[in-house]
Amino acid sequence: MSSSLASLLSDSAARFPARVAVVDPSAGESLTYAELQERASEIASALRELGIGPGDRVGLCTPKSVAAVAAIFGILETGAAYVPVDAAAPAERNRFIFSDCGVAALLAADAGADEGEPRQVAGLHLFDRRGRAAGDGAMAETTQAPDGLAYILYTSGSTGNPKGVMLTHANALSFVDWCSEAFSPDEHDRFSSHAPFHFDLSILDLYVPIKHGARIVLIGEALGKNARLLAPVIADEKISVWYSTPTVLRLLAEFGELESLDLGALRLILFAGEVFPVKHLRALKALLPTPRYWNLYGPTETNVCTAFEIPQEIPADRDSPFPIGPPCSNVETMLLDGELLVRGGPVTSGYWNLPKRTEEAFYRDSGGVRWYRTGDIVKDIGAGVLDYVGRRDRMVKRRGFRVELGEIEAGLYRHPQVVEAAAVAVPDPESGVSIYAFLCCEGGDKAPKTVQMKIFSAKNLLSYMVPDRFVFLEAMPKTSTAKIDYQKLSSLATASQ
């Protein structure tokens, strides 16, 4: 059994040196396992010359590429942890992240990504930041695998600054081992790598195929957003395991012309990150009925902690999303006042240099055992299967009733012309809270108007759930990880008051 993520590559390179490990269809580049190992070792050697080793953090600021994959494994080979950022994000945000966790070096695609004169290594620019690296702080890790820090993924923080979720080699390997158990991958599989490397979905994309000698097919940001171009790549590259957010799958079903392509290699379609409206899932399954479909659930802090396999046939009368499933074999779950708590192999130890925030994020039971508080409200629907109700922080009080905004969205999705729906609540000086429904609809001139949606909502939602305002958009704003950008929608709602 592997003790570090780096050993996943070295083990597979020894077994399958000539097999293709990673391919970038957009760039026309690929590396075999032997070449990827060689490239990673070249980067590791350059980092070691700077004194980088266990306990250090190395920033990664580059679009998706074979060079970026080599950089990740090169960083891991030194025993350091990688800190990936969105290369397209504002420079101020990335500077905050690199400063916050005190990266000792930075690997970037852009020679102007940082101060100083970079050295070129394996197609990337290497910046020495040791003079600017902050102290390790109370939450730093100083040992190598399996308890050493492997990577830090920064997520949006309630204070306005992103917070760094710390994951060890043991955390990641626990998840990789569960995937191996659940999905039976082998060296003949070809995995999509759609998620950006700063998004936790990338952990499955990278390490599960590498463990089994399979192929990673890189899907860059531009390609990943264009369903008409993306669908043929899935066919041409004979991708067998697809993993993305439901939004991407909906776009593929709607615009990918899937019925005209040979997608017979697809055996697994995995989705996570947001709720998959049943009407869109049903449409996708009608186009691609053969693969097995799985709903994977878990915040960045736990990676995937529950999973539910979608039945082969979706009942015609089902209009609510499928459950998030029972807990995975490597975790335990419990409910506390409806909130899902998780402990086990893939669960983070906390946030980088935020001891108070870390303490608040965990619950200690009577035996002193720590459980991560997901902030998600769920219910047990029998046999240990959990159904997602919504975010605790997306629940509001209205007219004395507790309202889950996700339930409003589910009701709006019942309208046949609603393609995307998002509900946000903003403070209102008179009523206390106003609920805005943002909608993307099909039908052109015949698309529903506000009055029609009011009437529809009155018939499909409880009276206190009917939105106060309906806002019709051509396209829903999205984050860099292809999720609906609720912060931007809240700003739009507030500005329109």
pLDDT in tens, 268-313: 999 998 889 999 999 999 999 999 999 999 999 999 999 999 999 9
Q: What is the predicted pLDDT for the residue at 116?
A: 85
pLDDT averaged over every residue in the chain: 92
Give me the CATH number covering residue 457.
3.30.300.30
- The distance from CA 300 to its chain's CA centroid, rounded to whole angstroms, is 7
Whether 480 is in a domain gets the answer yes
Q: How far apart are CA 264 and CA 258, in angstroms?
A: 11
Whether 372 is in a domain gets the answer no
Residue 488 has pLDDT above 90, yes or no: yes
Look up residue 96 and give its two tokens. Answer: 């905050």
Range of the domain at 203: 5-224
Nearest to 221 by CA among 200, 197, 190: 197
Please give the average per-residue pLDDT across 365-381, as a whole number. 95
- Split into its structural domains, the chain has a count of 2
Residue 248 has pLDDT above 70, yes or no: yes
Instruction: Name the CA radius of gyration of the chain, rounded.
Output: 23
134 against 19, higher pLDDT: 19
Q: How far apart are CA 107 and CA 128, in angstroms?
A: 9
Whether 327 is in a domain gets the answer no
Residue 400 has pLDDT above 80, yes or no: no
Whether 323 is in a domain gets the answer no
Residue 413 has pLDDT above 90, yes or no: yes
3-state secondary structure of 130: helix
Look up residue 166 and give its two tokens. Answer: 């710390």
Residue 448 has pLDDT above 50, yes or no: yes
What values do phi and psi take at 111, rounded to 5? -65, -20
Give strand ranges (E) for 87-189.
Answer: 105-108, 119-121, 124-128, 149-155, 163-168
List, for residues 198-243, the tens digit of each pLDDT value.
999 999 999 999 999 999 999 999 999 899 999 999 999 999 999 9
Whether 229 is in a domain gets the answer no
Q: What is the DSSP letter of 67?
A: H
What values do phi and psi take at 352, rounded to 5? -60, 120
Residue 174 has pLDDT above 50, yes or no: yes
Whether 271 is in a domain gets the answer no
Q: What is the predicted pLDDT for the residue at 1?
A: 64
Amino acid (one-letter) located at 285: K
- The distance from CA 126 to its chain's CA centroid, rounded to whole angstroms, is 27
Residue 366 has pLDDT above 60, yes or no: yes
Whether 252 is in a domain gets the answer no
pLDDT category of residue 112 using cuts at 50, 70 and 90: confident
Q: What is the predicted pLDDT for the residue at 310?
A: 98
Q: What is the DSSP letter of 325?
A: B
**Do you find a cis peptide bond into 146, omega within 30 degrees of 0?**
yes
The answer to whether 4 and 168 are in contact (CB under 8 A) is no
Domain finish residue from 224, 246, 278: 224
Domain finish residue from 224, 258, 285: 224
**Residues with Cβ < 8 Å from 443, sequence gap 6 or more?**
417
Q: How far apart are CA 234 and CA 258, in angstroms?
A: 10
Q: What is the predicted pLDDT for the residue at 355?
A: 95
pLDDT category of residue 431 using cuts at 50, 70 and 90: low
Please give the average per-residue pLDDT across 344-369, as a whole number. 96
Please give the average per-residue pLDDT across 46-64, as a whole number. 96
Q: What is the predicted pLDDT for the residue at 430?
A: 67
Angle subtended at Cα 246 by Cα 245 and Cα 252, rounded to the nearest 5 degrees:
105
- For the entire predicted model, the pTM comes to 0.86
Domain finish residue from 224, 248, 264: 224
Give me the CATH number covering residue 159.
3.40.50.12780
Q: What is the predicted pLDDT for the residue at 140?
A: 40
Look up residue 273 and give its two tokens. Answer: 């990150």
**Residues with Cβ < 8 Å from 74, sequence gap 6 or more?**
39, 40, 41, 42, 43, 44, 46, 47, 122
Residue 267 has pLDDT above 90, yes or no: yes
Please give the average per-residue pLDDT across 112-118, as a whole number. 87
Look up residue 108 and give its two tokens. Answer: 């970037």
List, for residues 125-161, the tens digit of each pLDDT value.
999 998 776 544 333 443 345 689 999 999 876 556 8
155 against 417, higher pLDDT: 417
Whether 73 is in a domain gets the answer yes
